[in-house]
Amino acid sequence: MATTTPVATRTASATSIGFVARYLAIGAYFGFVLVKAEVLSWYRIQEMFRFHSFHMYGVIGLAVLVAALAIWSVRRYRLRSLGGEPIAFRVFEAGWMRYVFGGVTFGLGWALTGACPGPIAALIGAGLTGFTVVLVAAVLGTWSYGQVRARLPH
Partner 1 sequence: MSTILDALRGPWPWYVAGPLIGLTVPLLLSLGKRFGLSSNLRHMCAVVPAARRNAFFAYDWRREGGWNLLVFLGIAVGGFVGGVLLANPEPVVIAESTSRALAEAGLTVDGALAPAALFSWSSLFTLPGFVVMVLGGFLIGFGTRWAAGCTSGHAISGLAELQWPSLLAVVGFFVGGLLATHLVVPLVLGL
Nearest distance from residue 143's CB to partner 1, in Å? 5
**At a CB cut-off of 8 Å and minimum separation 6, what does 47 contact?**
53, 55, 56
**80 has which bridge partners?**
86
- Report yes or no: 134 and 115 within 8 Å, Cβ to Cβ: yes
Per-position x/- string for 95-134, each x denoting binding to partner 1 as judged by CB under 8 A, each - no binding: xx-xxxxxxxxxxxxxxxxxxxxx-xxxxxxxxxxxx-xx
**At a CB cut-off of 8 Å and minimum separation 6, what does 151 contact?**
none
Residue 18 sits in the site that holds partner 1 (CB under 8 A): no
State which of positions 39-78 bind partner 1 (CB under 8 A). Answer: 39-50, 52-68, 70-71, 74
- Ordered alpha helix ranges (H), 1-54: 17-37, 42-49
State which of positions 135-154 bind partner 1 (CB under 8 A). Answer: 135-147, 149, 152, 154
Q: Choose, by CB under 8 A, the member of 35, 76, 78, 151 that binds partner 1.
A: 35
Residue 9 sits in the site that holds partner 1 (CB under 8 A): no
